[in-house]
Amino acid sequence: MLLNTYETVYILKPDVTEDSNLSLVQQYKTLIKKYGGKDVFIQHRGRRHLSYNISHYYDGIYVQMNFEGNGHLVSILERSMKFNDKIIRYLTVKQKLLPQIKV
């Protein structure tokens, strides 16, 4: 089965502790692997000022996840993020595959 490459960025509320952030990252990493995802790469982008306030928050903690999976996995992941009260925004983008060049 062909797996697509996805990038998910989510923004946490600024009052989330580091321990809570790490447990949330581990939870999503486990969820991705449970539903057939692989090559999970996570980057903590840190606290940043938002361009506009979201639910009365002016700052947020950014986390980026890159992984391979299918559309069903993305819908499960986004549903989980939708019901998490620590996350104020999330976005998943399908990465375009670059053509392979043979030398």
Q: Does pLDDT of 97 surpass 90? A: no
High-pLDDT (> 90) share of the chain, %: 82
pLDDT at 96: 80
32-69 confidence digits (pLDDT tens): 999 999 989 999 999 999 999 988 999 999 999 999 99
- Residue 75, amino acid: S
For helices 71-82 and 18-34, give the axis angle rounded to 10 degrees. 150
pTM score > 0.75 for this model?
yes
Burial letters 62-72, b for 16+ CB under 10 A, else e: bbebebbbeee
Tell whether 9 is covered by a domain: yes
pLDDT at 98: 64
Q: Does pLDDT of 27 surpass 70? A: yes
The pLDDT of 10-38, averaged and rounded, is 93
Q: Into how many domains does the chain fold?
A: 1
Tell whether 83 is covered by a domain: yes
Q: Which structural domain, as residue segments, surrounds residue 87?
A: 4-94
